[in-house]
């Protein structure tokens, strides 16, 4: 669905992402990991179309990414950013409805209203619907933004595949909702969506990812296709931590302690 061909990004002489090649197809859940400043967000921004790569190019659904119009792209990929700063009072419902903006002209259609309700139910924020967004806690706000992004993904089909980019989507969430959010993303994968998420928790990545990319200093160090292949030396190299790796008691998968 999306293919990076020798794609890199530099500001002046400072290379933020060393040219790398990568392919993500619909139905895949790819997690990007790495220390702070490893170039994860830059990679994600290039894939979202917000940053124009300074090297190589990106092909999205068979067409160069930069040839898409912003409104056209908004119907085919959604992005959850790390931070939101909102200086005006808006209700939670109004924020979630923004996810549907690319789909209607003047007034939301019944379909859009239903989608908003459905997304709020899925992230369990329906009770916040009339609350002023500015009064929410960090975790609540993150859930609401996820709702908006889910609403923007909207309907999908085999002929209408979509891309979901998540930049540290669970940074403010409690344990329950970390899993809730990633389960939602995982379910989208079964509905013709490709998901690429930046995560910091190795164990969450091991649980949900189909593939894990490890980045360090702007370089794609390893693409871990088999999660069982994770090693302590890899974690040492990428994160500079001494980690121990265990087998899950149920016998499926690995567990990392650090």
Residues that bind another protein (CB under 8 A): 45, 48-50, 69-75, 77-79, 81, 84-91, 94-95, 98-99, 101-102, 130, 132, 152
Residue 170 CA to residue 193 CA, distance in Å, equals 19
User: Measured from the CB atom, is 165 or 204 closer to another protein?
Assistant: 165
Least Cβ distance, residue 68 to another protein (angstroms): 10
Least Cβ distance, residue 106 to another protein (angstroms): 8
User: Measured from the CB atom, is 98 or 245 closer to another protein?
Assistant: 98
Residue 247 CA to residue 203 CA, distance in Å, equals 12
State the distance between the two ends of the chain, measured CA to CA, in whole angstroms: 35
- Both tokens assigned to 93: 């419902």
Q: DSSP strand E in 62-192: where?
A: 63-64, 77-80, 162-167
User: Measured from the CB atom, is 93 or 216 closer to another protein?
Assistant: 93
Least Cβ distance, residue 81 to another protein (angstroms): 6
User: Measured from the CB atom, is 27 or 102 closer to another protein?
Assistant: 102
User: Measured from the CB atom, is 95 or 185 closer to another protein?
Assistant: 95
Least Cβ distance, residue 44 to another protein (angstroms): 11
Cβ-count burial of 77 within 10 angstroms (0-12 exposed, 13-18 middle, 19+ buried)? buried
User: Measured from the CB atom, is 151 or 220 closer to another protein?
Assistant: 151
The secondary element (H helix, E strand) that includes residue 189 is helix 175-189
Q: Do residues 7 and 19 touch, judged by C-beta distance below 8 A?
A: yes
Least Cβ distance, residue 87 to another protein (angstroms): 5
Residue 52: phi, psi to the nearest 5?
A: -85, 125
CA 193 to chain centre: 11
Least Cβ distance, residue 254 to another protein (angstroms): 34
Least Cβ distance, residue 245 to another protein (angstroms): 36
User: Measured from the CB atom, is 84 or 258 closer to another protein?
Assistant: 84
Residue 105 CA to residue 35 CA, distance in Å, equals 42
Nearest C-alpha neighbor of 27 from the set 118, 119, 157: 157
Residue 19 CA to residue 29 CA, distance in Å, equals 22
User: In the beta sheet, which residues pair with residue 14?
Assistant: 11
């Amino acid at each position: 669905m999306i293919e990076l061909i020798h794609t890199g990004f530099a500001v002046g002489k400072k290379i933020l992402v060393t040219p790398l090649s990568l392919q993500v197809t619909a139905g895949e859940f790819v997690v990007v990991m790495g220390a702070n400043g490893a170039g994860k967000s830059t990679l994600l921004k290039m894939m979202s179309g917000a940053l124009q790569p300074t090297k190589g190019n990106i092909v999205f659904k068979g067409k160069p990414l930069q040839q898409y119009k912003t409104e056209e792209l908004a119907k085919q990929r959604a992005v959850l950013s790390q931070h939101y700063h909102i200086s005006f009072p808006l209700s939670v419902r109004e924020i979630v409805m923004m996810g549907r903006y690319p789909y209607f002209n003047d007034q939301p259609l019944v379909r859009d209203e239903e989608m908003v309700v459905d997304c709020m139910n899925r992230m369990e924020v329906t009770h916040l619907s009339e609350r002023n967004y500015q009064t929410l806690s960090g975790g609540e706000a993150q859930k609401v933004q996820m709702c908006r992004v889910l609403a923007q993904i909207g309907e999908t089909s085999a002929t209408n595949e979509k891309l979901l980019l998540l930049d540290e989507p669970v940074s403010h969430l409690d344990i329950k909702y970390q899993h809730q959010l990633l389960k939602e993303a995982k379910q989208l994968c079964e509905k013709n969506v490709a998901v690429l998420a930046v995560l910091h928790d190795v164990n969450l990545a091991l649980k949900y990812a189909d593939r894990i990319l490890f980045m360090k200093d702007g370089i794609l160090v390893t693409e871990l296709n088999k999660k069982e292949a994770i090693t302590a030396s890899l974690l040492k190299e990428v994160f500079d931590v001494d980690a121990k790796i265990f087998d899950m008691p149920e016998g499926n998968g690995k567990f990392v302690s650090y």
